[in-house]
Amino acid sequence: MKLGNYIIKRSLLMLLVMFGVVAIVFAIVHVIPADPVGALLGGNAPPAVVDRMKEQLGLNKPLFIQFIDYIWGVIHGNLGNSIQSGRPVVQDIMEYFPVTLQLSIVAIFISIILGIFLGIFSAVYRNKWIDHFSRIFSILGVSMPVFWTGLILLLVFYYILGWLPGTGQLSLFVIPPERITGMILVDSLLTGNWEAFWNGLRHIILPAAVLGYAATASIARITRASMLDVLTQDYIRTAKAKGMSKKVVIYRHALKNALIPVVTIIGLTFGGLLEGAVLTETVFGLPGLGRYIVNALLNLDYPAIMGGTLFIALIYSLVNLSVDLIYAMLDPRMRA
């Protein structure tokens, strides 16, 4: 019952937060002075043209009315039309987002697996060279700028060694699978297009590795701390006193207990992945939501900026909400 109340409370809070998020996005675009029409038409457009453009975009109305209009649109799933593409922003997002989603999913698998193993090694060999090595290795991941790591990997694995394909989602000679989910790997599996699957997989290795490696450090860190905490518990001493081997003590007795707090960090990690996706998509030329937002920002495409940022915030908040709920369910005090 406690859990039920918690879910309701968290969901209501999220609604309020989303309202605030819309307000922030609106304020960024409308209150901070910059000139969208000027950017669109160039500095020397005649005043009459500027006025007509403003009217088209609804920028001539009072700010408050514009805000109400926008909120009304958001509630009805209408984020306006992109100035650049001329299409509804929602439609653009639906096209670009699956690319980001696919990249993030592969990356988060890499970071969870890598992070948990590094964390365990660090904890078990605390203050030995393995610990130092694995900590430096994971911290290096979060310290190297993602855009630079991506460039260097492209240089080495594509240009110099030629082991992996370059930018983009698929090579030009590969026939893309029919669009079902928008995620190339999933669609090619569903349609049995093995050539596209293999090619897509080879294309995603570098960006996902760059992104996943960057997100490893926080997972490795919390796994290490949690594992160190668990390893000093009385029941671990009992297991050792029973003559259990080191492997059994670590993987059977300690790991299960140590992984519970790791769940909490995954939500935050996902935020880091979305940030990193903006940069990796730019470097690797992937048509994802991150690159969509960057393009919108560079061209002051207001509806696309607002819609894209809003959507990212929504996804991020939903992930955090579900992580909180999962953790609440894992916590025995909440279950009771």
Binding to another protein in span 232-291, by CB under 8 A: 233-235, 237-246, 253, 256-257, 271-272, 274-275, 278-279, 282
Question: CB 197 → another protein: shortest distance, Å?
Answer: 29
Question: CB 302 → another protein: shortest distance, Å?
Answer: 9
Of residues 48 and 160, the one with the C-beta less far from another protein: 160
Instruction: State how far the Cα of 321 lies from the Cα of 83, in Å rounded to an integer.
Output: 33
Q: Calculate ∠ Cα 79-105-263, nearest 5°.
A: 105
CB 125 within 8 A of CB 232: no
Site track for another protein across 15-54, x = CB under 8 A: -xxx-xx-xxx--xx--x-x--------------------
Instruction: State how far the Cα of 197 lies from the Cα of 69, in Å rounded to an integer.
Output: 43
Site track for another protein across 110-139, x = CB under 8 A: -----------------x----x--xx--x
- Per CB under 8 A, contacts with another protein among 296-335 are 297-298, 300, 305, 309, 312-313, 316-317, 332
Site membership for another protein, residue 151 (CB under 8 A): yes
The residue written with tokens 């690159």 in the block is 291
Given the rule CB under 8 A, which of 66-74, 174-182, 196-204, 228-236 is the region that contacts another protein?
228-236
Site membership for another protein, residue 147 (CB under 8 A): yes
The string over 279-292, giving b where at least 16 C-beta atoms fall within 10 Å of a residue's C-beta and e elsewhere, is bbbbbbebebbbbb
- Find, among 82, 3, 44, the residue nearest to 300 by Cα: 82
Token output for 332: 């025995």
Give the total of residues touching another protein (CB under 8 A): 72
Instruction: State how far the Cα of 207 lies from the Cα of 213, in Å rounded to an integer.
Output: 10
Of residues 170 and 312, the one with the C-beta less far from another protein: 312
